[in-house]
């Protein structure tokens, strides 16, 4: 099952690679190696079976999700620290797979974002060859010319400099295409019945409703709906992150509420918060409410 | 009546489909073993070791309780009466009668003949059903005469021909080969229960059976209804929901709504009992699985699984045996155990390594297929952490153990085993709890009684004291009177 999710991710990863180059491949490799090493060490400490736990693919998925969420030119230690944190504090300390309250990848992401804001907000602006990526990631030389802020950040910064939305030239092919990649990967998951439609659909509906409401209230000040959909990690979040079965709600009604509120929170955090993208925060916030949602959305039992 | 549906359930591809359903007569076994107990109460053997018995002779009868009589299914000599293992979910040993065949198949003198059942009173017919040892042959084995006697306001009789367990085809075969007998059997039951109508429910993948019944049915009270092929539609409450859109309340019974459900095999047994005066001594059993050629056998009750499996000639590899069904059945280790009245199928499969059980990732697939609308992942969580009270709050007792959740679980967790364990455990806990409560009540009563005795004794003492005191006062009074009299006499004396 986790393996299918990894296959579904590959389309988006290929698109990312097309735009940003080898950095992303390096990050994924570093992430997966770290994940396997840390998980094995921890399982050995806890006296659990290592092989079966690693072969379920869940930690590899966590590592890949984190690796594609962070900037592909982040220094090598960022992903290592992030993945270690995600696995130790996000998963193993709760008792391993199935017992964690929070989405480990997002926990790792937020940890990195708070601890290393600079490394977490510089993105490449063009394709990097293998050697270039190697140099940047392993800090062999500084290539300033290849990095810039994310588009959502850019819009927000421009808006705070009091230029209105219409004055900004908004076309962001790279991020939009990556989102398309993840969208089709997500459709594959839906088609294979790996995930149910409830979370992605309500998630996107949440984004649409909130962003449209904001946009109507002030056309000049807020980003239009379509940009919320195609920018940032929207599709990755909708199909791959919010749908993490362990930390999401398990009832059908609960999933709709859970996804919808994540969508709402994302727009609110993107618009009013200090961070470029709100997915990680929104997901973690909603993770906390899952036990409550689950209790109040139990299905009707036959004959009751 | 239409085609309603219930939530959940799963569509399982029937992997052991055969082109043509047959019924093969199984050869007579060398010996049979008849278990005497299923429910409450126990049939008492009315033969002793060494007795010669005929086919259809009652070997154990029952006065009270929920069980029915047992009949010998072969002619021969009673070998032993002792406790043995039988294929039962509880794993308990049951008292059994073992009979050795003489190979002659001699029947008791039964006045066979096509008697018009309308000549009999309803009570007589119920009596015949009871004497013939008929129980629900679908799986639960509930005595049929109890289900159909003293029913008030029964309006609908549902005949369960769904056989939703993949691979099982004994009811399919019965419907194809004995459609007239089944229709007549339904008419008998309609007469006994006084129901207005009967609905035969057949899954839509059993076209031959459907056509067979349709051609012989002349009774406009009997309706033949096809329902979609979906697993768990054979469960009584879900079938009622699918046919009539009536939801039987949790803890309630179908008869509360005026509905009686009967299995196809049971109907055939009722027909045999009433029309042919033939007690329940044999049944149709499906032998299937990837190690045998799937087929139906008419087999005498009490025959060992081994005898039947050898007739289906499996190859010599190691096999895994399961009885009842792929989903709800039980694995059997000892194939010398006997075939009972509720044995519908035997699965003979090649041994495959058990899948590795992994952690629950709360994917929720189990709750999507649960026909009852439970949250198995939540129940599993609570049962695993031994939080049975919470599991009961999540409606654990409503679980029908259909194993849909087991089937879809990507982590291969045997959820139903956890649930049946928890059910048993909490039942045990309730019993213990009741015991403690009874003991406490008894103790309280004892205290109360002792206190009361003490008070009573005190009262008696008090009364005695009072009497004594009164006596004393009286005596004193008399004494005084005497003294007064003496004084008076003295005074008189002095005057003189």
Q: How far apart are CA A30 and CA A25, in angstroms?
A: 9
**Any chain B CB within 8 A of the CB of A274?**
no
Give residue B64's pLDDT. Answer: 67
Residue A187 pLDDT grade (very low, low, confident, very high; cuts 50, 70, 90): very high
Residue A106 pLDDT grade (very low, low, confident, very high; cuts 50, 70, 90): very high
Say if residue B39's pLDDT is above 70.
Answer: no
Helices (H), A138-172: 151-160
pTM: 0.79
Nearest by CB to B247, from A58, A246, A303: name it: A303
Residue B332 dihedral angles phi and psi, to the nearest 5° = -115, 135
Q: Minimal CA–CA distance to A22: which of A133, A137, A120, A178?
A: A133
Order of all β-strands in the sheet with B259-263: B222-227, B197-203, B156-161, B259-263
Q: How far apart are CA A242 and CA B12, in angstroms?
A: 30
Q: Contact A96/B359, CB-based, under 8 Å?
A: yes
Say if residue B320's pLDDT is above 90.
Answer: no
Instruction: Compute the average pLDDT of residues A1-15.
Output: 86
Residue B136 dihedral angles phi and psi, to the nearest 5° = -60, 115
Instruction: Compute the average pLDDT of residues B437-459.
Output: 92
> Count of alpha carbons within 13 Å of A88, Cβ hemisphere only?
14
Q: Contact A303/B238, CB-based, under 8 Å?
A: no
Residue A112 pLDDT grade (very low, low, confident, very high; cuts 50, 70, 90): very high
Q: Contact A302/B252, CB-based, under 8 Å?
A: no
Give residue B90's pLDDT. Answer: 66
- pLDDT mean across residues, chain A: 84
* Tokens representing residue A300 in the block: 């009707």
For testing contact with chain A, the best of B249, B252, B364 (most A CBs within 10 A): B364
Nearest by CB to A245, from B249, B363, B378: name it: B363
* pLDDT tens, residue by residue, B60-114: 887 666 778 888 999 999 988 888 877 776 667 778 889 999 888 888 877 665 6
Say if residue B455's pLDDT is above 90.
Answer: yes
Give residue B288's pLDDT. Answer: 87
Chain A residues with CB inside 8 Å of B6's CB? 302
More confident residue, B290 or B459: B459
Give residue B420's pLDDT. Answer: 86
Give residue A161's pLDDT. Answer: 57
- pLDDT mean across residues, chain B: 86
Q: Contact B363/A298, CB-based, under 8 Å?
A: no
Percent of chain A residues topping a pLDDT of 70: 88
Nearest by CB to B371, from A52, A98, A302: name it: A302
Give residue A165's pLDDT. Answer: 52
* pLDDT tens, residue by residue, B58-73: 888 876 667 788 889 9
Q: How far apart are CA A37 and CA A29, in angstroms?
A: 12
For testing contact with chain B, the best of A58, A302, A303, A304 (most B CBs within 10 A): A302
Instruction: Compute the average pLDDT of residues B428-457.
Output: 90
**Any chain B CB within 8 A of the CB of A36?**
no
Give residue A110's pLDDT. Answer: 93
Give the chain B residue nearest A299 (alpha carbons): B373
Give residue B61's pLDDT. Answer: 82
Give residue A147's pLDDT. Answer: 56
Nearest by CB to A250, from B359, B371, B377: name it: B377
Give residue A81's pLDDT. Answer: 94
Give residue B186's pLDDT. Answer: 92
Chain A residues with CB inside 8 Å of B4's CB? none
Q: Contact B363/A1, CB-based, under 8 Å?
A: yes
Q: What angle do CA B141, B143, B144 make, to 5 degrees?
A: 110
Q: Contact A251/B398, CB-based, under 8 Å?
A: no
Q: Minimal CA–CA distance to B133: which of B269, B31, B265, B260?
A: B269
Give residue B1's pLDDT. Answer: 54
CA distances from A81 to A32, A62, A74, A115, B441 (A): 12, 13, 12, 10, 63
* Tokens representing residue B262 in the block: 């009967």
**Any chain B CB within 8 A of the CB of A299?**
yes
Residue A229 pLDDT grade (very low, low, confident, very high; cuts 50, 70, 90): confident
Give residue A299's pLDDT. Answer: 86
State which H helix or E strand residue B242 sits in.
helix B236-244
**Residue B156 distance to chain A (closest CA, Å):** 19
Give residue A259's pLDDT. Answer: 95
Q: Minimal CA–CA distance to A275: which of A164, A160, A114?
A: A114
More confident residue, B299 or A275: B299
Q: Contact B249/A303, CB-based, under 8 Å?
A: yes
Give residue B16's pLDDT. Answer: 63
**Residue B73 distance to chain A (closest CA, Å):** 41
The SS3 call for residue B273 is helix
Q: How many other C-beta atoms lie within 10 A of the C-beta of residue B39?
A: 15
Percent of chain B residues topping a pLDDT of 70: 94
**Residue A91 distance to chain B (closest CA, Å):** 12
* Tokens representing residue B227 in the block: 């329902």
Residue B315 pLDDT grade (very low, low, confident, very high; cuts 50, 70, 90): low
**Any chain B CB within 8 A of the CB of A49?**
no
Residue A301 pLDDT grade (very low, low, confident, very high; cuts 50, 70, 90): confident
Q: Contact A302/B250, CB-based, under 8 Å?
A: yes
For strand B345-350 and strand B319-323, is the pairing parallel, antiparallel, or unpaired?
antiparallel
Q: How far apart are CA B469 and CA B115, in angstroms?
A: 89
Residue A293 pLDDT grade (very low, low, confident, very high; cuts 50, 70, 90): very high
Q: How far apart are CA B46 and CA B436, in angstroms?
A: 40
Q: How far apart are CA B171 and CA B266, in angstroms?
A: 10
Q: Contact B249/A304, CB-based, under 8 Å?
A: yes
**Any chain A CB within 8 A of the CB of B397?**
no
* pLDDT tens, residue by residue, A48-96: 888 877 888 888 999 999 999 888 888 889 999 999 999 999 988 988 8
The SS3 call for residue B383 is helix
Give residue A148's pLDDT. Answer: 58
Residue A156 pLDDT grade (very low, low, confident, very high; cuts 50, 70, 90): low
Percent of chain B residues topping a pLDDT of 90: 23
Q: Contact A246/B378, CB-based, under 8 Å?
A: no
**Any chain A CB within 8 A of the CB of B367?**
yes
Nearest by CB to A245, from B361, B375, B395: name it: B361
* Tokens representing residue A287 in the block: 């993770």
**CA A117 to mean position of chain CA atoms:** 16
Residue A112 dihedral angles phi and psi, to the nearest 5° = -65, -40
Chain B residues with CB inside 8 Å of A43's CB? none
Instruction: Compute the average pLDDT of residues B460-466.
Output: 93
Distance linking the first and last C-alpha atoms of chain B: 125
* Tokens representing residue B241 in the block: 């929901």
Q: Measured on CA atoms in the order B199, B205, B206, B211, is the torsion positive or negative?
A: positive
* Tokens representing residue B316 in the block: 């010599």
Give the chain A residue nearest B6 (alpha carbons): A302
* pLDDT tens, residue by residue, B163-221: 778 888 888 889 999 999 999 999 999 998 888 899 999 988 888 889 999 999 888 88
Instruction: Compute the average pLDDT of residues B338-356.
Output: 86
Nearest by CB to A245, from B362, B373, B395: name it: B362
* pLDDT tens, residue by residue, B239-295: 888 888 888 888 888 888 889 999 999 999 999 888 888 888 999 999 888 888 888
């Amino acid at each position: 099952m986790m393996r299918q999710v990894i296959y579904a991710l590959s389309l988006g990863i290929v698109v990312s690679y097309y735009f940003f180059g080898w950095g992303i491949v390096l990050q994924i490799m570093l992430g997966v190696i770290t994940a396997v090493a840390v998980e094995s060490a921890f399982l050995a400490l806890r006296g659990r079976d290592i092989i079966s736990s690693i072969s379920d693919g869940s930690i590899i998925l966590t590592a890949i999700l984190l690796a594609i969420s962070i900037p592909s030119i982040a220094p090598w230690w960022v992903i290592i620290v992030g993945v270690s944190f995600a696995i130790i504090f996000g998963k193993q300390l709760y008792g391993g797979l199935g017992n964690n309250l929070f989405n480990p990848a997002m926990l790792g992401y937020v940890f990195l974002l708070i601890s290393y804001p600079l490394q977490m907000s510089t993105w490449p602006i063009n394709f990097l060859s293998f050697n270039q990526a190697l140099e940047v990631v392993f800090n062999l030389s500084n290539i300033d010319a290849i990095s810039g802020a994310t588009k959502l950040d850019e819009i927000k910064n421009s808006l705070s400099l009091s230029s209105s939305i219409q004055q900004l030239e908004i076309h962001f092919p790279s991020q939009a295409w990556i989102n398309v990649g993840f969208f089709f990967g997500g459709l594959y998951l839906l088609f294979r019945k790996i995930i149910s439609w409830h979370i992605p659909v309500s998630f996107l509906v949440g984004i649409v409703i909130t962003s449209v409401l904001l946009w109507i209230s002030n056309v000049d000040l807020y980003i239009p709906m379509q940009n919320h959909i195609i920018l940032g990690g929207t599709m990755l979040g909708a199909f791959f992150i919010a749908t993490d079965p362990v930390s999401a709600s398990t009832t059908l009604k609960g999933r709709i509420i859970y996804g919808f509120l994540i969508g709402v929170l994302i727009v609110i955090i993107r618009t009013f918060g200090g961070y470029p993208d709100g997915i990680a925060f929104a997901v973690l916030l909603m993770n906390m409410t899952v036990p409550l949602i689950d209790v109040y959305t139990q299905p009707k039992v036959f004959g009751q | 009546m239409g085609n309603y549906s219930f939530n959940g359930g799963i569509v399982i591809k029937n992997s052991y489909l055969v082109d043509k359903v047959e019924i093969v007569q199984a050869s007579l076994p060398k010996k049979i073993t008849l278990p005497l107990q299923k429910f409450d109460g126990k049939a008492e053997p009315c033969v002793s070791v060494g007795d010669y018995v005929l086919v259809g002779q009652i070997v154990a009868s029952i006065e009270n309780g929920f069980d029915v009589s047992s009949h010998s299914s072969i002619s021969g000599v009673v070998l032993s009466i002792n406790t043995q293992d039988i294929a039962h979910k509880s794993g308990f040993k049951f008292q059994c009668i073992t009979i050795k065949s003489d190979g002659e198949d001699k029947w008791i003198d039964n006045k066979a003949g096509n008697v018009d059942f309308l000549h009999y009173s309803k009570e007589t017919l119920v009596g015949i059903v009871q004497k013939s040892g008929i129980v629900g042959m679908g799986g639960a084995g509930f005595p049929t005469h109890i289900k159909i006697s003293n029913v008030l306001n029964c309006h609908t009789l549902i005949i369960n021909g769904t056989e939703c367990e993949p691979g099982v085809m004994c009811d399919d075969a019965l419907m194809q080969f004995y459609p007239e007998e089944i229709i007549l059997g339904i008419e008998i039951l309609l007469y006994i229960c006084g129901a207005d109508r009967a609905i035969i429910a057949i899954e839509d993948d059993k076209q031959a059976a459907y056509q067979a019944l349709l051609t012989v049915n002349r009774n406009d009270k009997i309706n033949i209804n096809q329902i979609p092929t979906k697993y768990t539609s054979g469960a009584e409450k879900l079938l009622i929901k699918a046919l009539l859109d009536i939801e039987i309340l949790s803890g309630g019974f179908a008869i509360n709504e005026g509905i009686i459900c009967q299995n196809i095999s049971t109907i055939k047994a009722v027909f045999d009992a009433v029309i042919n005066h033939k007690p329940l001594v044999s049944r149709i059993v499906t032998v299937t699985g990837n190690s045998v050629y799937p087929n139906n056998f008419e087999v005498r009750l009490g025959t060992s699984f081994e005898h039947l499996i050898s007739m289906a000639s499996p190859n010599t590899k190691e096999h895994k045996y399961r009885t009842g069904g792929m989903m709800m059945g039980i694995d059997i280790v000892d194939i010398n155990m006997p075939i009972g009245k509720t044995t519908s199928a035997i699965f003979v499969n090649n041994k495959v390594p058990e899948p590795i059980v992994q952690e629950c990732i709360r994917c929720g697939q189990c709750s999507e297929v649960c026909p009852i609308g439970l949250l198995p992942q939540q129940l599993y969580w609570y049962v695993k952490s031994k939080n049975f009270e919470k599991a009961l709050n999540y409606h654990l007792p409503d679980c029908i153990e259909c194993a849909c959740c087991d089937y879809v679980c990507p982590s291969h967790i045997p959820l139903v085993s956890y649930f049946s364990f928890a059910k048993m455990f909490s039942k045990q806990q309730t019993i213990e709890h009741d015991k403690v409560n009874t003991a406490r009540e008894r103790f309280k009563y004892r205290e109360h009684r002792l206190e009361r005795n003490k008070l009573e004794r005190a009262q008696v003492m008090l009364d005695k004291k009072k009497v004594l005191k009164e006596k004393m006062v009286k005596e004193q009074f008399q004494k005084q009177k005497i003294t007064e009299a003496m004084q008076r006499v003295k005074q008189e004396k002095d005057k003189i």
